[in-house]
Amino acid sequence: MYIFGIADPHTLGENEFILEKQLLEGTGIELRTYSCYSEEDVIKQMAECDYCGVVSVPFTRRVIENLPKCKGIFRYGIGVDNIDLQAASENGIAVCYEPKYCVEDVAALGFALLLGLSRKTVLLDRNIRKGLWGFKAGYESHRLQGKVLGLLGFGNIGKRLREMVKIFDMQVIAYDPFLSDQEAQQYHINKVKLNQLLEQSDFLSVHCPLTEETRHMLSEEQFKIMKPTAHLINTSRGGIVDTQALVEALRNKEICGAALDVHEKEPVPADHPLCQMEQVILTPHSGFYTEEAFITLRENIVKQVAALSKEEKPIYIINPQVLESRNPKAL
How many other CB atoms are there within 10 angstroms of residue 148's CB atom?
A: 18
How much helix, strand and coil, in percent to the nearest 5, is found in the chain? 40, 15, 45
Q: Is residue 260 domain-shared with residue 214, that is, in the same domain?
A: yes
Distance of CA 79 to the CA centre of its chain: 6
Q: Is residue 51 domain-shared with residue 194, that is, in the same domain?
A: no
pLDDT single digits (tens) 196-238: 999 999 999 999 999 999 999 999 999 999 999 999 999 999 9
- What is the percent of the chain where pLDDT is above 70? 98
**Could you give the residue numbers annotated as active site?**
237, 266, 285
Residues found in the chain: 331
- What is the percent of the chain where pLDDT is above 90? 96
Q: What's 26's domain CATH number? A: 3.40.50.720
Q: Is residue 130 domain-shared with residue 72, that is, in the same domain?
A: no
Residue 139 carries which DSSP code? S
The answer to whether the beta carbons of residues 139 and 279 sit under 8 Å apart is yes
Residue 285 carries which DSSP code? S
Q: Is residue 261 domain-shared with residue 296, that is, in the same domain?
A: no
Does 330 fall in a domain? Answer: no
The rounded distance, in Å, linking the Cα atoms of 247 and 71 is: 43
Residue 331 carries which DSSP code? -
H or E segment and range at residue 231: strand 231-234
Alpha helices of the chain — where are they, by DSSP H? 18-24, 39-45, 61-64, 85-90, 103-119, 121-129, 156-164, 181-186, 194-200, 220-225, 243-251, 291-309, 321-324
Q: Are strands 72-75 and 94-96 parallel, antiparallel or unpaired?
A: parallel
Q: What is the per-residue pLDDT for 13?
A: 80
pLDDT at 93 over 60: yes
The answer to whether the beta carbons of residues 151 and 158 sit under 8 Å apart is yes
Give residue 146's domain range: 103-282
The rounded distance, in Å, linking the Cα atoms of 52 and 126 is: 43
Q: What is the per-residue pLDDT for 173?
A: 98
Q: Is residue 113 domain-shared with residue 82, that is, in the same domain?
A: no
The answer to whether the beta carbons of residues 164 and 138 sit under 8 Å apart is no
pLDDT at 57 over 90: yes
Q: Is residue 162 domain-shared with residue 52, that is, in the same domain?
A: no
Q: Is residue 189 domain-shared with residue 278, that is, in the same domain?
A: yes
